Each structure stands twice: as structure tokens, then as C-alpha cells.
Copies of this chain bind each other. A is one copy, B any other.
């Protein structure tokens, strides 16, 4: 029982002009007499005319739709990114369809194909692995696509990412300057650019500062709280224990906190902790997590800007790989504000709670 919206044909009949003229008038094409345009627009408004974008798309070959493919829209990281993408897209008259792949390559492929059927004008992909044949295919065909957050090993597609290597380097160097030498890392999967590059930055920083590297101090797995908790529990239960842990995402850091709590270790007194992403909760008084800022909103917006240039034919042929600078946000969890003699110096130091109430993380 919906109020049927009128078509340009019906407006044309009432206005006593052709459908063509109605189309021109409503699209503010200058090749219509002012008076005619006014008359048509008045009628259109009166009838509650709304253009049918599907019909328009069929002929114009433009849907004004872009596809955002993330690992999980329910994940804070991707949802903050999504907001930047949405705002920039809508500012330019585009709407966004989202898909969550849970990091599965097959699913990614399925969704890319599905979105092609839907007729999207381009893709923002935030959940690629180092190797994604379907994405290379898109890039080879010069279909508009921009990678955000993660990139391919073969840099065939346009991308906007943070310098993950440099970010990790900043973190580890800072920990070293704070006096820590036994530094563990819990990172994301090595088949993701973020997972592997943050690991490489960690290794480089250790090497440059002549710090011993322990195999036991590395864990690779999903960027999740569960992985963080499990890996930290294992790492901290061994004989040779890290004094500091670099969690390659804030979510992993949350898991490390859970593990430390269960083991009776205080952060930062017994264990320094640094995350990555600067997700909203990390600034909370109780969490107070030192982390690396990601500028997710801006990254998403910039990705859309580049995508729109591609869609509008500003394809200069060359591939655009933008790398944003990371920024270290120092908070309490890395313990750098602790007096030097309070910092963990060996792996057996467990200060009893009542001797240092003031420095407990709040």
C-alpha cells in the first residue's frame, strides 16, 4: 500500500513536455528554459518525486555505491575505519555496502564477485592477506580498488597504510630506552602485512640496539584478545620471562592484561605492556595503554578520496602506495614513568601489592 512515487513520464505528461526535458530540468542541466525548469521542479516537488537510482545506474553504468570489505565490522578497529569511509563517501554522493570476511580468502573472493554483480563502482579493501589473487585480478583490470590498513606483498594495487615497521620500531626502541631488555612480542598472523611488518620492526629495533633475541618471546596468531591471553600466559609462565611485551594490537594487549591478572603480575611494575592501534578504550584510566596511533578515520577517508579519483578516471597508470607515519602514545602501561629502580630487572621480581599502592595502574 505504498505511495507510488511518480516517474519522469508522469511529470512530463502533467507539465506538457517530454520526459527528456523533465530529466534535464531535474538534473539542473542548463539547456532548459528557466521557466520550464521551475514549472517542472514545482510539479516534481508537489508529487513527491524521487529519482530512481536503479534506472539511472542501468544506463549510466554508475551505481554511486562502493564496497567496503573488512575482516569484521563488529571489531572496533574496522568500525572506526568504516566511519571515516562512510563520511568521505557520502560527502561525494556515494553510499557504502559492507562485508565482513573474518579474514578468509575464499570469502573475500566470493564477496568481491558478489559486489561486482551488485554493480559497485569500486572497492575499499581492509582485510587482504599478503597474497590475494582476486585482488590482483581487479587491479590488473584497472577496476577501482584501494587497499587500506593492510597491503599485498606485490604492491599491485593502490593502498593507504601506516608504516607498521616504523611503528613497531618506535615501540621497541622506547621500551629499550626505558631500560627493558627482555622484550617479547605477540603479533598478528605472518600472512598479513600488519602482522609480519610489526614483527620485522621489532626484530630490527632489537638488532640495532644489540639486544638478545629469544625464540620463546615470539608469538604469532590472530589479532585477538584470546590469542593475546593465551600467548602471554605461556610466555609469562616460562622460566625465562619477558619484562616487557609488545602486543601488536590493542586487542592483543587486552588479552595480555587478562593473563597478567591471572598470574598475579602487575602492569607496569611486573610487566611493561605496549599495544598498537590506539583504539578508543586504550586511553581509559584503568587501561592506560601505551600504544601506536593509527588515525583510522583519516586513513579510511583518504582511501575513499583515492578511490573516487580512480572512479572518475584520474588513473595516472602508476600505482599509489601511501604510507602514513605512526605516532607513539606514551601512557602508564609501559612503566616508563616508574623510577628506574622500580622497573623490573629480573624475571622473579614480584613486589607485593601493599608496598606500592601508588603505582598501581588505575
- The distance from the CB of A351 to the nearest CB of chain B, in whole angstroms, is 10
- Tell me the count of chain A residues lying within 8 A, CB to CB, of chain B: 68
- Docked pose: A87 CA to B74 CA in angstroms: 11
Tell me if A117 counts as interface (CB < 8 A to partner B). Answer: yes
Residue A189 interfacial (CB < 8 Å): no
Q: How far is the CB of A156 from chain B (nearest CB, A)?
A: 14
A264 → chain B closest CB, angstroms: 9
CB <8 Å contact, A284 and B297: no
- Does A252 touch B at the CB level, under 8 Å? no
Residues of B within 8 A of A301 (CB): none
The 10 closest A-B pairs by CB, nearest first: A353-B357, A79-B79, A74-B83, A261-B285, A354-B357, A258-B285, A286-B286, A74-B80, A281-B281, A54-B119
- 18 further A-B pairs in the complex, CB-CB below 8 A; given A75-B79, A257-B286, A355-B357: A1-B142, A53-B118, A54-B57, A72-B83, A74-B80, A74-B82, A76-B76, A82-B98, A86-B98, A86-B99, A90-B99, A95-B97, A95-B99, A97-B97, A257-B285, A261-B285, A281-B281, A360-B360
- 28 CB contacts below 8 A, A to B, read A2-B141, A2-B142, A50-B113, A50-B117, A51-B117, A54-B118, A65-B97, A73-B82, A73-B83, A79-B82, A86-B98, A86-B99, A90-B99, A95-B97, A95-B115, A96-B97, A97-B97, A225-B284, A254-B284, A257-B284, A261-B362, A266-B362, A286-B287, A287-B287, A354-B355, A354-B357, A356-B357, A360-B362
